[in-house]
Amino acid sequence: MRVACVQMRSGLSREENTANALALIAEAAGQGASFIATPEMTNAVDRDAKRLASGLPDSGGLPEITAFAAVAAKYGVTLLIGSVAEKREDGTIANRSYLLGPDGGTIATYDKVHMFDVALPNGETWRESSVYAPGDRAVIANLGAVKLGLTICYDLRFPTFFRNLAQAGANVFVVPAAFTRQTGKAHWETLLRARAIENGAFVIAPGQGGHHEDGRDTYGHSMIIGPWGEHIASMDHDAPGVLVADIDLAMAAAARARIPNLALERSVEIVKLPS
């Protein structure tokens, strides 16, 4: 199975971002990828909630999703739009993945569960919950031999979330992201490899990279990791581009057979001793 990560540097214009994404998707399809994933916030990277909301249509109906569905059908590929900003019926904004089939139809959507509310050592402060409303469900898409666990960016720091997906059958995780440059340098590769090793699963992780119009800096370095924690393919930069690799799903089954921790996991009682 040939898969691809699309690395982007999305700005404030949804139209420009969509055009850039479509060109990179076409490039990946031209290299033979049958599954293509774009990063978090493909359609807009904007920390200003009012500005972001003002340009979004009410309750869905994003024209960029129509465009992405058309390109999926044109090339006959399965396309994961890592996430878009989209209004819900209640007026809040979701950070939402769209999984589109080779016929252009929507297979699944997933709203990011874990919000990036942090204060970093360099003084950077992020309150994603001030812009987006979190989701409340995990999603596995059945793509034949591929059982695709959908996650977005900060979800990566919650191993139990991935464990639950793996226990429910996921053998491939997608982690579209807009990791900050600081946290990316420190933790991106380590966390991706850990989630792969812990669960005997492939990890496909397309990222945003570079300096964005809203002032943030993201890490890029999109990666495809195997179920033994090995690098299958990776970018060593933050510039827009395409990363393509072949994966063998039998490797996930083999890794789980060698180290059957999913089957051998046990629940235990935690005893807190007095201090």
Answer yes or no: is pLDDT of 214 > 90. yes
CA 115 to chain centroid? 14
- CA distance linking residue 179 with residue 82, whole number of Å: 13
Give which of 134, 132, 80, 69 is closest to 104, Cα–Cα: 69
Q: How many Å apart are CA 158 and CA 156, to the nearest integer? A: 6
| pLDDT at residue 49 is higher than 90 | no
Q: Using alpha carbons, list the distances in angstroms from residue 120 to 3, 124, 125.
A: 33, 5, 6
Per-residue pLDDT band for 118 (boundaries 50, 70, 90) equals confident
Find out whether 251 and 263 touch, Cβ atoms under 8 Å.
Answer: no
Separation CA 24–CA 15 (nearest Å): 14
Q: With residue 191 as reference, give the H or E element that holds it.
A: helix 189-199
d(CA 119, CA 124): 6
Q: List CB contacts of 107: < 8 A, sequence separation 6 or more.
A: 78, 99, 100, 101, 141, 143
pLDDT at 117: 79
Mean pLDDT of the chain: 95
Q: Which fold has domain 2-264?
A: Nitrilase/N-carbamoyl-D-aminoacid amidohydrolase (3.60.110)
Beta strands in the chain (DSSP E): 2-7, 35-37, 78-87, 93-100, 106-111, 117-119, 125-127, 139-143, 146-150, 172-174, 202-205, 209-211, 217-219, 223-225, 231-234, 241-246
Q: Where are the domains of the chain?
A: 2-264
Pair type for strands 139-143 and 125-127: unpaired
Please tell me the least confidently modeled range out of 52-56, 132-136, 233-237. 52-56
Which residues are known to be catalytic?
40, 112, 153
In terms of pLDDT, which residue wins out, 129 or 270? 270
Q: Could you tell me the pTM of the whole model?
A: 0.96
Res 130: pLDDT: 84
Pick the range with the lowest mean pLDDT from 49-63, 82-96, 159-173, 192-206: 49-63
At 122 the pLDDT is: 72
Residues 6+ apart with CB under 8 A from 244: 2, 3, 4, 28, 31, 32, 33, 233
Predicted confidence at residue 197, as pLDDT, reads 98
Task: Specify the 3-state DSSP secondary structure of 67.
Answer: helix
The pLDDT assigned to 167 comes to 97
